[in-house]
């Protein structure tokens, strides 16, 4: 990198060939005759002559495209790509009024491409049949004001030919020959000759490489040979903030004193002028050459050399020029081009006629009435658009690619719009495929890009129309005065590209997938056209092999653009759509690549529709995705390619989401929803039909394919769950073999598999529960089969969760197995003639299994604070199971197989355990099961109290009777503490009455009056405690809410109140009898007699019975309290 001091900022980076960049220079002696032919190597002279010819022939209309294709990384990064000679010609325009400029201009993003266009050669020679559309425009619009004679031809005068010949000889003799050792012995002449030939041959080969002689273009029409370069070196030139990529073949020499110097041959009879000075200065400046060696001659006889510093050239006498003008001209001219050549893909013509004071820029694409296919620039420009897009895709990460998706999409859209698929099917196919890849990446996953698009959609984000291309300029051309171009900062240079772009791709996933499929269909159509043309061509060439061979060689030279596929596979494998011989890959392989992308797009549509609960569409897209995959697999086998990792990975994703969809469909129960899904299932749009057509051509029958079961539409819950299970299994088997990097997905899939196994187990368990309610002995075998299916599903789920150590779900599935065993216990309930029989041994075994499963689950989570909710659930279910078994034992005691004591012990044990596992809920007052848990605990204490009560009645042992009495009272009290009289008035009253009954039983068994009086008083006091419940029952009776006093409630209340009234009468009657025979208790006797009379006067059949009883108890309490106070 060198900065010039010639009043301008110039940074140069020169990329030289691998060979030695400069010729070693020898300065010729005075009086050397340049008219003599070099005698040492004629081949070298020929090469130099070609070099000079190339240098003088800079009108290759596709030169910038060759250079752009060879340096695709620079596209969009530099401001200008062109030949150094073109830059010099433009920058000398203000110093040469008679100069003529004719250049073709193209715009690709930030980059301008400039090429020389020889008007005389291409437009005015009548034997030329090309460029007719341009010629018509030129004749109608340009030649009206310019005479044909003013259109310059190439200088082919005798003087010019002599000048070129002398230059060749001068350059030839300026190269220092290799030193050859001369031997004295004449016997060594043969050896010396051999050595000389070898050395010369090496030098010649070095020169051949240097001048790229192999890139010589024999046919002017071979304009699509875009990857070769005629230039000796690449120059990255930064001039006044303008970045340019320049091809230069300036001969550069050097020696020890002058490491890099350019050579010029000058006739001393002709003075040096400004144009020569600018030419030399720009050549050296662009190639970073610090010195110029000017060789002066007279009629070919060398006179002298002059070494001039590059920075001194603008101030040399005779050729002075201000560098600032060159700087301003360059800046303004590039700004003019960027401001007006704004449409990518359009062909512009920059023209200045001889003696014109203005430079005009014509938009030929808009002005000329022609089909784009007639424009020879169509394919080169479209190819560069493709390459720019491909570079952006292949060299960026996902985030950058998303941000640049608008630019990439614009480039590809230009490419597709420019290429007629009938004429350029190969490139159209490649571009359409890349466009689809822009919407849907092959590197598909369930969470990576499927969640990339927001549901809030920019209406323009998926619109591929180019509105800025539809506005045709009303002006036929734009122009700028040459004087204006030389004025400082007249057109301030803009760093940022001013071409318009489509919006980046955002939006709903289904829209993106739909767009991707649209372009995939375009790719398939282009491929079909290509194969048809290919077949016709092959047929025509069968009898013309020799001619075909030469033609093929030329055709292959016409398009050497390698077009890699722009997805993950291309970045890490050798998959390409167009091979290095510029042909589309074979038909089978190409279709398999496109169908793989289609399968990925359909996967995305499944994902989106699954989120929107359009399950019919999900199944349809699953069918298409799997059909694409099956076709891809078959094509790969036909092409002797094994299924790639990407294919297997995609199949695993499809199967995974298929499992999700079939599971969700199993939950659909609405008839309307089923019909909606059925309708969605059978809809096929044009794109789907096109892709299905290709699948059919491959020979895939959707109804009999390997994956037909995945996308089957059915409302049968069992079949949907079964399909879901097997889809997950399929995905798991694939992912398991993909390697350790897929462990996370394997974990997720295993969890989903466990979940659906649980769902299937619950489904069959619910079937069992329904069957048990209406047990039919004839269906017993079928019910057992349902139990088996449920058990196997739960067991498989547990095994799956154990593989991923999912403790929570393992515990919950153990809970479900416990519930299943409870239903199994109900299945074994013995019923004869509709009457429930004694508790059976099969019931006991089933309950024991249930206990075991619940306890296993509890053990897993008992010390896990984070799984406390699971622990609560399991404890609740286990408590319920113990309670259910205890009530069954208590209500249907197996007295025929067990003793009463053993039964009671087992009941008490179960009830105690039920209470134990209720403690978790009772200690969590915020629990939603707290009230229910309190009621259950009260019920358990009530049942325990009732059991002990009954045992107490049958017990003869005094000590044991006391213990049983105390325990019964304890449980009655605990039950009363847990029951709320307001919430459970009947239960509360029943408890109190049973406790009163316990005292009544003791009264009946007492033999002496003091004991009988004691028990009577205890029983009466206990009866008084029922007054609150009686009052609450009365409130229910008078409530305006009919639910507060429904028939069931009223009947049970009536029964309990009658029992209570009877007990009160019993206690009062006994007390009246005792006090009647007691001599000193006459007053008390009268009071109790009155109390007894009050109880007898209560009418139990009255509608106000509850109120009357409440009032009676109130009166009895007052009389009783008066006697006790006395």
pLDDT in tens, 927-938: 889 999 999 999
pLDDT band at 226 (very low <50, low <70, confident <90, very high): very low
- The average pLDDT across 488-511 equals 69
Number of structural domains found in the chain: 4
Q: Give the separation between CA 285 and CA 3, rounded to whole angstroms.
A: 9
Q: Please count the other Cβ atoms lying within 10 Å of the Cβ belonging to residue 369.
A: 7
Instruction: Tell me, yes or no, whether 962 lies in a domain.
Output: no
Q: Give the separation between CA 311 and CA 907, rounded to whole angstroms.
A: 113
Question: Are residues 401 and 328 located together in one domain of the fold?
Answer: no
Question: Are residues 361 and 408 located together in one domain of the fold?
Answer: no
* Residue 198 buriedness (CB in 10 A; 0-12 / 13-18 / 19+): exposed
pLDDT tens digits, one per residue of 665-693: 999 989 999 999 999 999 999 999 999 99
- The average pLDDT across 336-357 equals 88
Q: Give the separation between CA 755 and CA 310, rounded to whole angstroms.
A: 80
Query: How is 432-484 classified by DSSP, letter by letter?
Result: HHHHHHHHS-SS--TTTTTTTS-SS--TTTT----GGGS---SSSEEEEEHHH
Least confident of 96-110, 136-150, 216-230, 326-340: 216-230
Q: Give the separation between CA 1072 and CA 1052, rounded to whole angstroms.
A: 30
Looking at residue 269, the DSSP 8-state letter turns out to be: T
Greatest Cα-to-Cα distance within the chain, rounded to the nearest angstrom:
177
Least confident of 315-324, 570-579, 705-714: 570-579
Reply yes or no on whether the pLDDT at 823 is more than 80.
yes
* Residue 125 buriedness (CB in 10 A; 0-12 / 13-18 / 19+): exposed
**Antiparallel, parallel or unpaired: β 80-83 and 111-116:** parallel
Q: What are phi and psi of 236, to 5 degrees?
A: -95, 105
Helices marked H in 919-980: 919-922, 930-954, 958-978
Reply yes or no on whether the pLDDT at 771 is more than 80.
yes
CA dihedral 579, 581, 584, 588 (to 10 degrees): -70
Query: Which one is predicted more confidently, 928 or 819?
Result: 819
Question: Are residues 76 and 116 located together in one domain of the fold?
Answer: yes
Question: Are residues 361 and 411 located together in one domain of the fold?
Answer: no
Structure tokens of 482? 């040459």
Q: Residues with Cβ < 8 Å from 163, sequence gap 6 or more? A: none
Q: Give the separation between CA 845 and CA 227, rounded to whole angstroms.
A: 84
Least confident of 446-450, 669-673, 945-949: 446-450
CA dihedral 138, 142, 144, 149 (to 10 degrees): -90
pLDDT at 154: 61
Q: Give the separation between CA 139 and CA 576, rounded to whole angstroms.
A: 46
Nearest to 1022 by CA among 917, 887, 878, 1120: 1120
pLDDT tens digits, one per residue of 360-408: 998 888 877 666 667 888 888 998 998 888 888 888 777 777 788 888 8
Question: Are residues 1054 and 1100 located together in one domain of the fold?
Answer: yes
- The average pLDDT across 452-466 equals 49
Q: What is the mean pLDDT of the chain?
A: 81
Instruction: Tell me, yes or no, whether 926 lies in a domain.
Output: no
Q: Please count the other Cβ atoms lying within 10 Å of the Cβ belonging to residue 19.
A: 11
Range of the domain at 455: 380-462+502-520
Nearest to 353 by CA among 91, 119, 169: 119
Q: Give the separation between CA 61 and CA 177, rounded to whole angstroms.
A: 37
Instruction: Tell me, yes or no, whether 133 lies in a domain.
Output: yes
Instruction: Tell me, yes or no, whether 995 lies in a domain.
Output: no
Reply yes or no on whether the pLDDT at 844 is more than 50.
yes
Count CA atoms within 13 Å of residue 848 on its CB side: 7
Q: If phi over 0 gives left and psi between -120 and 50 gives alpha, with beta otherwise, what is residue 980?
A: beta
pLDDT band at 59 (very low <50, low <70, confident <90, very high): low
> For residues 1023 and 1060, is the Cβ–Cβ distance under 8 A?
yes
Query: Which one is predicted more confidently, 448 or 233?
Result: 233
**Antiparallel, parallel or unpaired: β 242-248 and 563-564:** unpaired
Least confident of 37-51, 543-557, 785-799, 805-819: 543-557
Place of tokens 């067991």: 795
> For residues 107 and 346, is the Cβ–Cβ distance under 8 A?
yes
Question: Are residues 354 and 397 located together in one domain of the fold?
Answer: no
Residues belonging to the chain: 1126
pLDDT at 881: 97
Reply yes or no on whether the pLDDT at 141 is more than 80.
no
Least confident of 384-388, 471-475, 909-913: 471-475
Least confident of 274-278, 379-383, 446-450, 807-811: 446-450
> For residues 566 and 394, is the Cβ–Cβ distance under 8 A?
yes
Helices marked H in 260-322: 274-287
Looking at residue 630, the DSSP 8-state letter turns out to be: H
Instruction: Tell me, yes or no, whether 276 lies in a domain.
Output: no
Structure tokens of 704? 């009999």
Question: Are residues 327 and 363 located together in one domain of the fold?
Answer: yes
Question: Are residues 399 and 346 located together in one domain of the fold?
Answer: no
pLDDT band at 10 (very low <50, low <70, confident <90, very high): low
- The average pLDDT across 244-265 equals 86
Instruction: Tell me, yes or no, whether 438 lies in a domain.
Output: yes
Instruction: Tell me, yes or no, whether 456 lies in a domain.
Output: yes
Element (H, E) at 14: strand 10-15
Question: Are residues 618 and 701 located together in one domain of the fold?
Answer: yes
Helices marked H in 804-929: 807-827, 841-861, 868-891, 900-916, 919-922
Q: Give the separation between CA 983 and CA 963, rounded to whole angstroms.
A: 32
Provide the terminal-to-terminal Cα distance of the chain, rounded to the nearest Å.
125
Looking at residue 1042, the DSSP 8-state letter turns out to be: G
Looking at residue 353, the DSSP 8-state letter turns out to be: -
pLDDT band at 837 (very low <50, low <70, confident <90, very high): very high
Q: Please count the other Cβ atoms lying within 10 Å of the Cβ belonging to residue 930.
A: 14
Residue that finishes a domain, picked among 475, 491, 520: 520
Q: Three-state SS for 296?
A: strand
Q: Give the separation between CA 499 and CA 342, rounded to whole angstroms.
A: 6
Reply yes or no on whether the pLDDT at 800 is more than 50.
yes
Share of the chain above pLDDT 70, in %: 78
pLDDT tens digits, one per residue of 350-373: 988 888 888 999 888 887 766 666
Question: Are residues 673 and 624 located together in one domain of the fold?
Answer: yes
Share of the chain above pLDDT 90, in %: 43
Nearest to 629 by CA among 665, 602, 610, 660: 602
Structure tokens of 1122? 């008066």
pLDDT band at 1044 (very low <50, low <70, confident <90, very high): confident
Reply yes or no on whether the pLDDT at 716 is more than 90.
yes
Question: Are residues 61 and 159 located together in one domain of the fold?
Answer: yes
Reply yes or no on whether the pLDDT at 460 is more than 90.
no
Highest mean pLDDT among 636-640, 732-736, 740-744, 996-1000: 732-736
Reply yes or no on whether the pLDDT at 573 is more than 90.
no
Sign of the alpha-carbon dihedral angle for 48, 53, 55, 61: negative
Q: Please count the other Cβ atoms lying within 10 Å of the Cβ belonging to residue 948.
A: 24
pLDDT at 128: 56
CA dihedral 802, 807, 810, 812 (to 10 degrees): -170
Residue that finishes a domain, picked among 307, 340, 367: 367
pLDDT band at 839 (very low <50, low <70, confident <90, very high): very high
Instruction: Tell me, yes or no, whether 997 lies in a domain.
Output: no
Question: Are residues 396 and 338 located together in one domain of the fold?
Answer: no
- The average pLDDT across 1010-1022 equals 90
Integer CA distances (angstroms), 521 to 413, 443, 587, 690, in order: 15, 20, 15, 7
* Exposure letters 814-850 (e unless 16+ CB within 10 A, then b): bbbbbbbbbbbbbbbbeeeeeeeebbbeebbebbebb
Count CA atoms within 13 Å of residue 191 on its CB side: 8
Structure tokens of 850? 């249930």
Structure tokens of 566? 């722009």
């Amino acid at each position: 990198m060198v900065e010039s001091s010639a009043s301008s900022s110039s940074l140069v980076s020169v990329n030289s060939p691998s060979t030695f960049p400069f010729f070693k220079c020898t300065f010729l002696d005075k009086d050397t005759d340049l008219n003599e032919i070099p005698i040492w190597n004629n081949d070298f002279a020929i090469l130099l002559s070609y070099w000079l010819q190339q240098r003088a022939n800079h009108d290759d209309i596709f030169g910038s495209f060759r250079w752009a294709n060879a340096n695709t990384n620079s596209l969009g990064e530099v401001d200008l790509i062109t030949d150094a000679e073109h830059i010099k010609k433009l920058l000398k325009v203000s110093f040469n009024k008679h100069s003529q400029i004719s250049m073709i201009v193209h715009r690709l993003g930030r980059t301008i491409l400039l090429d020389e266009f020889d008007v005389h050669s291409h437009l005015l020679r009548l034997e030329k049949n090309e460029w007719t559309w341009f010629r018509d425009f030129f004749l109608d619009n340009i030649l009206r004001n310019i005479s044909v004679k003013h259109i310059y031809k190439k200088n082919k005068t005798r003087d010019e030919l002599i000048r070129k010949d002398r230059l060749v000889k001068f350059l030839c003799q300026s190269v220092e020959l290799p030193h050859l050792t001369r031997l004295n012995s004449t016997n060594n002449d043969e050896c010396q000759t051999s050595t000389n030939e070898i050395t010369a041959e090496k030098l010649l080969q070095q020169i051949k490489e240097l001048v790229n002689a192999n890139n010589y273009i024999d046919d002017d029409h071979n304009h699509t040979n875009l990857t070769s370069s005629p230039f000796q070196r690449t120059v990255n030139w930064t001039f006044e903030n303008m970045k340019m990529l320049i091809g230069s073949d300036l001969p550069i020499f050097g020696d020890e004193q002058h490491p890099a110097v350019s050579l010029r041959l000058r006739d001393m009879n002709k003075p040096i002028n400004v144009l020569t000075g600018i030419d030399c200065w720009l050549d050296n400046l662009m190639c970073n050459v610090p010195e110029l060696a000017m060789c002066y001659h007279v009629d070919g006889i060398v006179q002298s050399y002059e070494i001039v510093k590059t920075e001194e050239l603008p101030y040399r006498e005779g050729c002075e020029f201000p560098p600032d003008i060159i700087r301003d001209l360059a800046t303004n001219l590039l700004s003019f081009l960027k401001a007006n050549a704004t449409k990518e893909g359009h062909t512009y013509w920059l023209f200045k006629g001889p003696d014109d004071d203005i430079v005009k820029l014509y938009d030929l694409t808009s002005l000329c009435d022609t089909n784009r296919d007639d424009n020879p620039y169509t394919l080169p420009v479209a190819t560069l658009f493709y390459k720019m897009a491909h570079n952006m895709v292949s060299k960026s990460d996902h985030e950058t690619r998303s941000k640049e998706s608008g630019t990439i999409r614009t480039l590809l859209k230009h490419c597709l719009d420019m290429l007629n698929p009938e004429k350029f099917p190969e490139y159209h196919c490649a571009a359409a495929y890349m466009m689809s890849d822009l919407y849907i990446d092959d590197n598909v996953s369930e969470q990576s890009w499927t969640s990339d698009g927001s549901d809030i959609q920019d209406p323009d984000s998926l619109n591929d129309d180019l509105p800025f291309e539809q506005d045709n300029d009303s002006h036929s051309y734009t122009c700028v005065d040459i004087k204006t171009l030389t004025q400082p900062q007249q057109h301030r240079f803009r760093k940022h590209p001013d071409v318009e772009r489509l919006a980046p791709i955002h939006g709903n996933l289904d829209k993106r997938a739909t767009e991707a499929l649209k372009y995939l269909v375009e790719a398939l159509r282009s491929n079909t056209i290509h194969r048809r043309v290919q077949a016709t061509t092959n047929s025509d060439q069968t009898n013309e092999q020799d001619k075909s061979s030469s033609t093929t060689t030329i055709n292959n030279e016409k398009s050497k653009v390698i077009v890699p596929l722009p997805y993950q596979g291309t970045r890490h494998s050798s998959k390409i759509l167009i091979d290095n011989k510029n042909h589309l890959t074979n038909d089978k392989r190409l279709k398999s690549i496109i169908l793989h992308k289609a399968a990925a797009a359909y996967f995305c549509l499944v994902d989106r529709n699954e989120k929107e609960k359009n399950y019919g569409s999900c199944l349809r897209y699953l069918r298409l995705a799997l059909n694409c995959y099956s076709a891809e697999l078959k094509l790969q086998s036909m092409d002797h390619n094994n299924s790639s990792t990407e294919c297997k990975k995609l199949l695993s994703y499809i199967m995974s989401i298929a499992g999700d969809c079939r599971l969700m469909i199993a939950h659909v129960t609405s008839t309307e929803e089923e019909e909606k899904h059925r309708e969605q299932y059978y809809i096929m749009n044009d794109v789907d039909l096109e892709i299905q057509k290709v699948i059919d051509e491959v020979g895939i029958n959707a109804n009999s394919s390997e994956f037909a079961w995945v996308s089957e539409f059915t409302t049968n819950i069992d079949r949907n769950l079964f399909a879901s299970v097997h889809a997950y299994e399929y995905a798991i088997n694939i992912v398991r073999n993909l390697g350790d990097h897929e462990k996370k997905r394997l974990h997720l899939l295993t969890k989903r598999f466990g979940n659906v196994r649980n769902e299937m187990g619950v489904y069959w368990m619910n079937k069992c529960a329904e069957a048990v309610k209406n047990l039919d002995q004839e269906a017993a075998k079928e019910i057992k089969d349902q139990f088996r299916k449920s058990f196997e599903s739960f067991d498989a789920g547990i095994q799956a969760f154990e593989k991923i150590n999912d403790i929570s779900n393992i515990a919950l599935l153990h809970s479900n197995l416990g519930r299943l065993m409870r239903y199994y216990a109900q299945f074994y309930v013995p019923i004869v003639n509709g009457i429930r029989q004694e508790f059976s041994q099969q019931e006991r075994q089933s309950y024991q299994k249930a206990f075991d499963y619940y306890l296993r689950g509890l053990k897993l989570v008992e010390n896990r604070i984070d799984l406390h909710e699971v622990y609560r659930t399991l404890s609740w279910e286990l408590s319920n199971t113990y309670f259910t078994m205890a009530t069954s034992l208590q209500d249907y005691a197996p007295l025929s197989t067990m003793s009463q004591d053993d039964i009671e012990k087992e009941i008490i044990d179960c009830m105690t355990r039920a209470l134990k596992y209720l403690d978790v809920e009772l200690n969590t007052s915020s629990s939603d099961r707290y009230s229910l848990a309190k009621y259950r605990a009260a019920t358990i204490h009530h049942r325990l109290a009732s059991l002990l009560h009954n045992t107490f009645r049958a017990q003869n042992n005094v000590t044991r009777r006391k213990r049983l009495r105390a325990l019964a009272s304890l449980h009655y009290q605990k039950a009363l503490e847990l029951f709320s009289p307001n919430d459970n008035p009947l239960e509360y009253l029943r408890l109190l009455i049973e406790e009163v009954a316990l005292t009544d039983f003791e009264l009946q068994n007492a033999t002496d009056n003091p004991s009988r009086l004691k028990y009577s008083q205890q029983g009466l006091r206990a009866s008084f405690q029922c007054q609150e419940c009686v009052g609450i029952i009365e409130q229910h009776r008078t409530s305006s809410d009919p639910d507060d006093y429904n028939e069931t409630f009223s009947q049970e209340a009536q029964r309990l109140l009658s029992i209570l009234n009877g007990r009160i009468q019993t206690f009062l009657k006994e007390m009246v009898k005792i006090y009647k025979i007691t001599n000193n208790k006459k007053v008390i006797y009268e009071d109790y007699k009155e109390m007894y009379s009050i109880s007898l006067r209560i009418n139990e059949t009255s509608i106000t019975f509850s109120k009357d009883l409440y009032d009676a108890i109130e009166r009895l309490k007052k009389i009783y309290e008066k006697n006790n106070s006395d």
